[in-house]
Amino acid sequence: MVEYDPKLIYEFADRLYKKAKYIIATYVIVGFLSGLLIGGVIGYSVIKALEFGIIFGPILGVAIGYEMGAEKVFELKLKAQTALCQLKIEENIRKL
């Protein structure tokens, strides 16, 4: 039978916070590169202004990447805090 180990929950929360530390940067870099590629293609083929697409594509990509990354970070931190809250509830119940 598996035994209860509160250290595992602390480690889980710690890992989520470490993971969250790099999420925004990763999403911003991917957004920049995607925006550069998509903006270049659209700028060259659709509006015949490559410079326009190369300038505004990455800006839009970074903005979208930042928003997506910030949302993911929030979800990870909320998940960590929920686990810690449940652990504290359990610890307080054991004291009764």
Of 17, 58, 65, 16, the residue nearest 41 (C-alpha): 58
Higher-confidence residue of 51 and 36: namely 36
- Cβ atoms within 10 A of the Cβ of 23, count? 18
Q: What integer pLDDT is reported at residue 15 of this predicted model? A: 96
d(CA 35, CA 77): 28
| pLDDT tens-digit series, residues 20-46 | 999 999 999 999 999 999 988 888 887
Residue 43: per-residue pLDDT: 81
* The pLDDT of residue 48 is above 80: no
